[in-house]
Homo-oligomer: A and B are copies of this chain.
Amino acid sequence: MKTLKFNIIAVLTACLAGLLTYTASAQFQQNPIVSPEIHENGSVTFRLMAQAADTVRISGNWMAGWGAAEIMTKNEDGLWEITLHGLVPDYYNYVYRVDGVRTTDPSNPWVIRDVRNTFSAFILPGEESRFLSLGNGKQGTIHEVWYPSPVLDMEQRRMKVYLPPGYHENGDSYPVLYLLHGGGGDEEAWTELGLANRILDNLIHSGETNPMIVVMTNGNPNQSSTWHVNPGHEAPRQTDSVNPMANIRFEESLVRDVIPFVESRYRVKTGKENRAVTGLSMGGWQTQQLALAYPEVFDYYGVMSMGLIRASQFGMDAEEHLERTRQNLRNLQETGYKLYWVACGTDDFLFDSVIHFREVLDELGFDYVYRETGGGHTWDIWRQYLSEFTPMIFR
């Protein structure tokens, strides 16, 4: 009887499938245009149907800055197209500019957000992007968690927590990396733009990185969560996200709210030797401040794409200010730590601030590891830094 039952279901569903396909196609107005199309030789074709447009350009994060663009070619049907060759395998994003109007690719369902802007996304597979692909190993788990923040006077704040593969299958406790985003970002940035969970899965699988828990907080102390989770609130402007750098309320909250919560909720190894913190740009700044204000909390620091600005540029008493920084750095030297890592790209607009920072560190004989790369203030670099930083910690 079971066989018969399934037969009838199969016949009925085959018919229904046809009906649904027809109706859903009409309803969703599906577009047969394939874009982006990734060819076997690694070239990528982008397409957009825009019959009435005079000019369609494409801007992508493989270009030098978002002002750059390439003109696409229109065929007789009004289909615009461009094929790019020689892109390094990586996680890319792009937009079209249709007679000056910025638009995501309507044929590409993968749209991501960076600060207030949306982009179409794709991964070009290959050796260089192997850490970004779903590997053969086991995947970790991601939790979207709300935790209380007395320091910031919020009953609930949202964060993401990555648990390594095996967390649920064994009884081990794990060290914790606190992973901080940059200005304009939020608790979604390191998974959506940084693919941090994917990078960790792959590095843990290959044995290059020890299994660890990764905590991704919202570094804007005026926000309880990424704004669209709480849409009664205005989406953040750039200034909202940078203003938090003018105090260390987030840093205090990380130490007094987040760490105790994480260490009570998860199976965590405690003590500074089991805690690392790294962040990019604003998160690099916050990493610096944590080292200065709470030298007893972390043993591993990663400062990505952030240095010290020259106070004199702003008419301040540079020497007085530097003297305070030196005092705190000496304090950290006395307390001790295992790794202080500074990384920056030579094209980064903050590269000069890193040179200045290193001058101060060198002058003090401060023990740190410096990593200089090409590249600018962009996520491809920060993904690379994460893949280099995590193998150095908890060893």
- Listed in ascending order, the chain A residues whose CB lies under 8 Å from chain B are 1-2, 4-17, 19-21, 23-25, 27-31, 48-54, 65-67, 98-104, 106, 108-111, 113-118, 121-123, 125, 133-134, 138-139, 141-146, 156, 158, 168, 183-184, 225, 227-232, 235, 237-239, 242-243, 245-248, 265, 281-282, 285, 289, 292-293, 308-309, 311, 313-314, 316, 320-321, 324-325, 327-328, 349, 377
Establish whether residues B134 and A246, one from each chain, have CB atoms under 8 Å apart when the complex forms: no
- A292: chain B residues within 8 A (beta carbon): 5, 9
CB-based closest 3 A-B pairs:
A103-B103, A52-B99, A8-B324
A238 near B99 with CB under 8 A, answer: no
Do B139 and A156 touch (CB < 8 A)? Answer: yes
Q: Is the CB of A243 within 8 A of B23?
A: no
| Minimum CB–CB distance for A58 against chain B, Å | 14
Which B residues touch A327, using CB under 8 A?
Answer: 1, 5
Copies of this protein, total: 2
Q: With A21-B238, A52-B100, A117-B28 known to touch, is A8 a contact of B321 (CB < 8 Å)? A: yes
The reply to whether B98 and A101 form a contact with Cβ atoms under 8 Å apart is yes
Q: How far is the CB of A7 from chain B (nearest CB, A)?
A: 8
Q: Which residues of B contact A289 (CB under 8 A)?
A: 9
Alpha-carbon separation in the docked complex, A10 to B197 (Å)? 33
The answer on a CB contact under 8 Å between B324 and A28 is no
Q: A17-B242, A24-B183, A349-B23 are in contact. Are A231 and B12 (CB under 8 A)?
A: no
B134 touches A238 (CB 8 A): no
Contact in complex: B99, A104 (CB < 8 Å) = no
Shortest CB-to-CB span from A57 to chain B, Å, is 13
Give the complex CA separation of A153 and B225 in angstroms. Answer: 38
Chain B residue with the shortest CB-CB distance to A230: B134
Using CB atoms, name the residue of chain B closest to A225: B134
A103 touching B104 by the CB < 8 A rule?
yes
Q: Are A106 and B109 in contact (CB under 8 A)?
A: no
Cβ–Cβ contact A50 & B101, under 8 A:
yes
B231 and A123 contact, CB distance less than 8 A: yes
Interface contact B20-A134, CB-CB below 8 Å: no
Indicate which residue in B10, B143, B349 contacts A246 across the interface (CB closer than 8 Å).
B10
- Chain B nearest CB, measured from A150 CB (Å): 15
Contact, CB under 8 Å: B13 / A245 = yes
Q: Which residues of B are found within 8 Å of A225, using beta-carbon distances?
A: 134
Select from chain B the residue with minimum beta-carbon distance to A311: B12
Give the contacting residue for A111; candidates B49, B98, B118, B308; CB below 8 A. B118
